[in-house]
Amino acid sequence: MQWTCKILTETRGYRSAWIATFDAGTIRAVAESGIGVGFDALRAWI
């Protein structure tokens, strides 16, 4: 997932990208690119 986010920001012109997978309402995995430290606040919000 991290690679996918990186490709979106480095080659497709996206400023930032994030992906989260859920299972029964619980976050199982999260990846991001282009957000950096600010992603912690977003992760807490989800």
Element (H, E) at 27: strand 26-33
Q: State yes or no: pLDDT of 42 exceeds 80.
A: no
Mean pLDDT of all residues belonging to the chain: 88
Give me the domain span that covers residue 9.
Answer: 2-45
* Per-residue pLDDT, 36: 83
Provide the pLDDT for residue 41.
81
- Nearest in space to 19 (alpha carbons), one of 6, 7, 5, 9: 5
Total domains in the fold of the chain: 1
Taking the whole predicted model, whether its pTM rises above 0.85 is answered as no
pLDDT value for 5 = 94
